[in-house]
Structure 1
Amino acid sequence: MSSEPTTLLRLLCDRERLTYRKFNERFTLTGVDLFGRNPNNPTCGEPQFRRWTGGKLVGLPGAETCTVLERMFPGYTAAQLFAHPSEVIDPQVPAYDLDLEERIAMTARDAHEAAGATAGMSISDNTVDELHDQVVTLARRYHRLAPVRAFEEAEELRRKVEDQRDRTQVPAQLQSLMILNGQVAALLSAAAFNLGYLRHARTFARTAALFGETTRFTPLRGFADGSLAYIAYHAGDNTESVTKAERALSYGGLGDVAERRLHAIQARAYAHLGDIASAQRAIRLSEEPGRDRRDELHDTVGGEFGFTAERLAMSNSTTALIVGDSDQAEAAAHQALTLLGQRAPDEQSAHVRGGASADLAMARLLANDVEGAAEALAPVWEIPSDQRMTGIVVRTARVHRHLSRPAYHGAQLAGQIRERIEDFNRVSPPHQIGPHVGLLALEA
């Protein structure tokens, strides 16, 4: 790309590093969000994209196309997007200064990578530290990212780690890089699962488990086996799920957070097997006070590797629904939402809010409180389409199935909720770009 974009659209695409493929994906999803799944939605071929960004367009495209572009780049009209940047941005203010932090970050990465290139087969320990910091940052930002974006960032990070592994023969550095590689594989597994790709999520989780076993880094191995356990019960392999969770709990060196997560996963696995007593016992174990034990992954890195109190409550709410205890489910869902509300806005997980709200709605439906269920679902509708991941989709689908029973036929409010859920899930990533979400359980 040239250094002087001829249209504001090209400037914005350069700034966000939008290749044609990424631009087209966003354009298509935005069109679906605006107009629904319609074969007449506006499209953008690659030659058309080149004309748009190259200042070769005569006049403006159609009204619907302009509407999509204005939604993609809020704050600008279609006319401004196709105009020269100097006509829209004050020429006294350098355009790229608007994204100074991004430029600084990009320059810092480039400078760091250039310095690392001089190290030959022995890389600097600072390079390993920098990669570690990037893994920690991604894990802690994960809850704020759409799963597609999370996968892309993790994929790029995996390539960086692999590149450095090929350039060093120092055993301690290789050990650290393999652990980082395993952590990135675990994040890729979470992203693939959230997009509805269970088979690939399982492959990534097995990769993470292999790195954990090879490096003798027990927390990673425990986390990966826990992931394999919940992937298994979503796929209907309930016996395997119990086995994976029990094996992970047998490892030494796990902290309280790790064991809490594994007991919650174990509880769900038992619930799917119909072993209610074991499921309730596992729930109690997950809620017991810890013994002040920590580990280097679930606690020190944290983020997606952690397991917050509200996520625990949400998971146990779902397990209670599976075993048929609506009172316990409603209490746990309420607890999850209360705990979530006590966090700063940027620390609140849309996944937990949506999942707990859907569980609360389901618990109320079991008590035949349709109006209460509609009220509980209100926060769900506010979740942006690109963050409607597998856990939320299957929970709302569970509500939809319940309201599709003959007892609700002809009931106006029940019908409205069903239609709202259909519209909500239709534009979710698992339905748009993932396989059909016909899962048997709900994500932890």
Structure 2
Amino acid sequence: MSTTESFGQLLRRLRVQAGRTQEEQAEAVNTASGRDTLTRREISRYENGETVPTKHTVTQIARSCGVAPGVLLDAAAAARARRKGEGPQRDQPPSPEPGAATAEHAAAVSLDFADFIAPSDTDDDYLCYLHDNLARIAGQYVCTSVLPLFNDLVSIRDEVFGLLRKRQKPHHARELYVLAGASCLLLAHASQNLGNSHAALAQIRTAGTCAQQIDHKPLRAWAAGTTALIAEWSAQPARALQLAEKAIALAPAGHSRIRAFAIQARTAARTGNQEAADAALTQMMTAQEEPPDADDLVEIGGIFTFPPAKQDYYTGATFSLLGRHEEAEAYATRAVDQYRHGPPMARSYGDEALAAIDIALARIRQGDIGMATSWLQPILALPPDQRIQQLALGLRPVARALEESPLLCTSGATDLLELTQRYQVLGAPALPSQ
């Protein structure tokens, strides 16, 4: 690479040398990565210096062009540094050096002009493409470990952010704000699962700002509910209750409203307020019978739904926190059964594991260490990439119950206590930079 050649110009030169259009280059990168996520628009933005791809994507571009990744990674790092210092700039094809052949440069200029005059405005088909990809990730998030989804999710978020930084038709801008907010909420859930509450709250703040831009109540309700969950898991139940009430006031009828009451019930139980918890559960059951309102977050699906299995898990968790372990066991068992016998894509391994922990806790309180061990063994055997932070928090009451059990002197109880105390969970990775 010459000293005057930018990252975007290097990408353009490699593509021209390969005799590919931008669409063909995107297809080549997708083939190299085994994913179908990169588009001609993104290749154009990379080459024009509008955005810089993630390290993962840079590596796949290098593979598709048959060059060493280090060459492109160094150029991408320099481009990121320049963007931070000077802001985004549009690259132009480099001028040929004196005496050098000009055919390649002429081809690059022609292709650059073709890309420039090609329609780049957002259209309905492209919005459907972005929506479908986000829906795919939201669905996979329920039943798949968090880490493999990060790069795809960040890529979609960055694509939507890039479109919103340009002028859009009002109805396209509204849809893009919904997609931007939803992608940030997904990143908030992922960050929280990985134990990084600070990053999760930053994502929620951005989602809330997107919602305010278009006065989108379902998005605001989901953001408030997710913040309530973070406060609850961070031992701030009073704050969580306030946020749950805000979510209830904003939530449309249907999954979002049911979720808000479920969060309110569980957080009330954490404060020891049995009356408020029971009242919230009653309201949740009433909400289950209400005709649902239109909600484009629910239309995305996956994690943006609150199905019956999840409702039973929350109910069981509420009773467990109140010390009503027989009721907790009944609802938690029903939740586990629904997850195990329902559609595989709807099987939330995290919620299923947390419900199993509530069952095990009930068994310990009733002196049945053997059955408690049976329920906990699958959780203790989960692969590292599925050990979300909530599992470690959920096992704490189990450890306390074992310590208080008159059966602690038995070898089974002692071994189980040691396993729960030594349980290792995921740590949060750094988000890929733009």
Aligned to 1:52: none
In structure 1, the partner of 2:257 is 259
What amino acid is aligned across from residue 215 of structure 2 in structure 1? R
Superposition map of 1:202-281 within 5 A: 202-251=201-250, 254-281=252-279
Letter in 1 for 2:242: T
CA distance in 2, matches of 1:359, 1:152: 33
Measured in 2, the distance between the counterparts of 1:108 and 1:115 equals: 14
> What is the CA distance between 1:373 and its match in structure 2?
0.9
Using the alignment, how far apart are the partners of 1:313 and 1:204 within structure 2? 28
Q: Which residue pairs with 1:137 in the alignment?
A: 136
SS in 2 for 1:186: helix
The aligned counterpart of 1:399 is 398
Q: Which amino acid aligns with 2:285?
A: E
1:184 maps to: 183
CA spacing shift, 1:239–1:162, aligned 2, 3 Å: same
Moved more, 389-398 or 184-193: 389-398
Alpha-carbon distance in 2 for matches of 1:337, 1:106 = 32
Q: How does 1:82-231 map to 2 (within 5 A)?
A: 106=35, 109-111=38-40, 113-114=42-43, 118=116, 122-231=121-230
User: Quick one: distance in 1 between partners of 2:157 and 2:391?
Assistant: 27
1:394 is displaced (CA, Å) by 1.5
Q: Aligned residues: percent identity?
A: 23
Task: Tell me the equivalent position of 2:60.
Answer: none
Q: 2:35, 2:394 → 1: CA distance?
A: 39
Counterpart amino acid of residue 247 in structure 1 = K
Question: Aligned equivalents of 1:104 and 1:413: distance in 2?
Answer: 47
Pairwise CA distance, 1:333: 0.7
Instruction: Quote how far apart the aligned CAs of 1:408 are.
Output: 4.7
Contact 1:341 1:348 in 2 (8 A): yes
Give the aligned residue type for 2:247.
A
Specify the alignment match of 1:286 in structure 2. 284
Shift of 1:299: 2.8
The alpha-carbon deviation at position 339 of structure 1 amounts to 1.0
1:429 aligns with 2:422: no
**How far, CA to CA, are the matches of 1:395 and 1:233 in structure 2?**
12
- Which sections of structure 2, spanning at least 5 residues, go unmatched? 1-27, 46-114
State how far apart, in whole Å, the 2-side matches of 1:381 and 1:222 are: 34
Q: 1:102 to 1:335 in 2, by over 3 A?
A: farther
- The number of residue pairs the alignment matches comes to 332
State the 1:144 CA deviation: 2.8
- The verdict on how the C-alpha distance between 1:144 and 1:160 changes in structure 2, with shifts beyond 3 A counting, is same
CA distance in 1, matches of 2:235, 2:391: 18
CA, structure 1 residues 104+206, in 2 after alignment: closer, same or farther (shift >3 Å)?
closer
- Comparing 299-308 with 201-210, greater Cα deviation is found at 201-210
Residue 188 of structure 1: how far off its partner (Å): 0.4
Deviations 1:86-107 (A, max 9, x none): xxxxxxxxxxxxx999569756
Q: Structure 1 runs of 4+ off > 6 angstroms?
A: none
Task: Work out whether residues 146 and 190 of structure 2, in 8 Å CA contact, stay in contact via their aligned partners in 1.
Answer: yes
The structure having more radius of gyration, on CA atoms, is: 2
Write the distance in 2 (CA, Å) between the matches of 1:200 and 1:108: 25
Aligned equivalent of 1:96: none
Listed one character per residue, the Cα deviations across residues 367-425 of structure 1 (whole Å, up to 9, x for unaligned) are 222122112223323422201112222112321232133745432111111232245x2
The corresponding residue for 1:376 is 375
Paired residue type of 1:161: V
Q: How far apart, CA to CA, are the structure 2 residues paired with 1:102 and 1:356? A: 40
The change in CA–CA distance for 1:421 and 1:178 in structure 2 (over 3 A counts) is same
Name the amino acid aligned to 1:347: A
Match of 1:318 in 2: 317
Q: Which whole-Å CA distance do the structure 2 matches of 1:170 and 1:392 have between them?
A: 44
> Which whole-Å CA distance do the structure 2 matches of 1:371 and 1:296 have between them?
45
- Does the CA contact (< 8 Å) of 1:330 and 1:363 recur in 2? yes
1:133 is paired with a residue of what secondary structure? Answer: helix
Which moves more between the two structures, 101-110 or 124-133?
101-110
Q: Structure 2: how far apart are the matches of 1:206 and 1:151?
A: 19
Question: What is the deviation of 1:187?
Answer: 0.2
